[in-house]
Amino acid sequence: MALVSIKRILISESVDPCCKKILQDNGIQVTEKQNMTKDELIAAIKDYDGLVVRSATKVTAEIINAAVNLKIIGRAGTGVDNVDVDAATKRGIIVMNTPSGNTISAAELTCILLMSLSRCLPQAAMSMKAGNWDRKKFMGTELYGKILGIVGLGRIGKEVATRMQSFGMKTIGYDPITPPKISATWGVEQMSLEQLWPQCDYITVHTPLMPSTTGLLNDATFAKCKRGVKVVNCARGGIIDEAALLRALESGQCGGAGLDVFVEEPPKDYVLVNHANVISCPHLGASTKEAQARCGQDIALQIVDMMQGKALVGAVNAQVLASTFSPDSHQWIKLGEALGMVLRTCSASKQPYGQVQITTIGESLKNSVAFLGSAVMVGLLKDSPKNSPNLVNVLALAQEAGITIIRNHAGGDQKLSKSSCMVEISASGSRYKATGSVQGEVPVLLELNGSIFRQPIPLTGNLLFFKAVTTPQVLSSVASELATAGVGMESFSASVDHNGDQWCCMGLSSLLGDLGVLKPLVNEATQLFV
């Protein structure tokens, strides 16, 4: 099952040619247009289903809101700080990056800067080119036996650690996500930042840029470090406070810095770049032929695999979708959405919703409650006046609407089905409940508001639900009204218990033009197309 249909993609930056070829080979029209202004991009983006960028294109909320057909934003590289992910999520647009495409290249550049800082190699080379022979001026230090602090122990941090250990460096680190037991297997002892700062001879940062990491190295943290500590940033400009770094360099508290990234790129103020103890590069972390080919290939293949329903890799705002790429999950997603639609139709006069509780039943659905819950909410919010709900944005839409979502998993209920999904909603003081399952790859309704159906109802086509005492006379009268309206009855299912009012369902050839004709015959009636 393909989650989205991608027909046209715009590549707004220089990406390896293999990216375009892979996309075109899979039937996608590709337009390459570099150096677009913001206004040019806003004007053009409405014509595309997908956008592929690197780091120069700033995909702002203004651009995203103009992208009326956009379904995916692909970043050919690590990180997505040049994309407004929140704005994309609200619009139901998948944002993905290539998490491992430039890992080796970025790690190698980090190691090169660490080595260059230890021996002043760029400065010595420039001195030689100027005709000088300053052996004493460029006295260096060995890396052997020194302590390297690695802040951020993801893919790149791990690769830096293993390489610098070969120089005899002791590697310590900090990461709020990677378990210490894991990092210990590749030779990194984890500790708090407060413990890390005073121990390090060298510090390298490999974290995303976010509020908690902006200015991570600042005046206060530099003061806690060893005098003469050397720092490297090949991650994102702003993780190291540039003004604080300059002060630390001038005071000698920082003995040198290797910078590949800056807050402003290119920087307008070159005071930091021109400092004698700074080695700087114009954001070259991913600038290798291998990394560019890998990132271009990865982003193209990820888009194609997602489009073909094979897998979802690198998505940063649609984690719930990762478990939906299996043949078994497709029909359950359809079931969840259909259950939501049934309950939305039944509760139309009672909205807005207050609480939605989704319970999966059966061992096979133990890990499915997340995507089933999202699928149910898509069905419930189908007529949202703002954004069209999908599995990417529906939780954000539900939060905006003030809906509380509760997810549970329970053991099997043989009374209903070995595996089933039960949804209960509250709306304006009333409660509605529906239970469904998948039988023979067909989503079916098993129960509606306490009425358990004798025959499971296939949730497909035109469906008429009505509540009444199901006597032969009532059924005959309903069938007569349908015939009078030119609507054929294709299927019928009544509930097991005939005592009192019960819900019944009819499959129709088309929806009834006026439900009012059934009011004299039944207590409640609603219809929908699934």
d(CA 276, CA 44): 45
Closest CA to 93 of 247, 306, 242, 291: 306
d(CA 32, CA 14): 8
Contacts of the segment 488-494: beta carbons below 8 A, 24+ positions apart: 490/461, 491/457, 491/458, 493/453, 493/454, 493/455, 493/456, 493/457, 494/453, 494/454, 494/470
Q: Under 8 Å CB-to-CB from 516, ≥6 apart: which residues?
A: none
Look up residue 435 and give its DSSP letter: E
Cβ atoms of 114 and 122 within 8 Å: the answer is: no
- Catalytic one of 283, 294, 337, 447: 283
Cβ atoms of 196 and 173 within 8 Å: the answer is: yes
d(CA 114, CA 92): 42
Handedness of CA 76, 78, 81, 84 (dihedral sign): positive
Q: Which residue type, as a one-letter code, is found at position 453?
A: F
Cβ atoms of 330 and 27 within 8 Å: the answer is: no
- Catalytic one of 54, 91, 206, 236: 236
Token readout for 386 is 């703002």
265 is annotated as an active-site residue:
yes
247 is annotated as an active-site residue:
no
Tokens 């709306």, located at residue: 427
d(CA 527, CA 518): 12
Give how far Cα 407 sits from Cα of 355, 410, 425, Å: 11, 10, 12
Q: In the chain, count of helices (H) and strands (E)?
A: 16, 22
Cβ atoms of 421 and 359 within 8 Å: the answer is: yes
Q: What share of the chain is helix, strand, coil (3-state, %, to 5)?
A: 35, 25, 40
- Catalytic one of 265, 290, 441, 490: 265
Cβ atoms of 4 and 286 within 8 Å: the answer is: no
Cβ atoms of 129 and 349 within 8 Å: the answer is: no
d(CA 178, CA 188): 11
Q: Which residue type, as a one-letter code, is found at position 209?
A: L
283 is annotated as an active-site residue:
yes
Task: Tell me which residues are annotated as active site.
Answer: 236, 265, 283
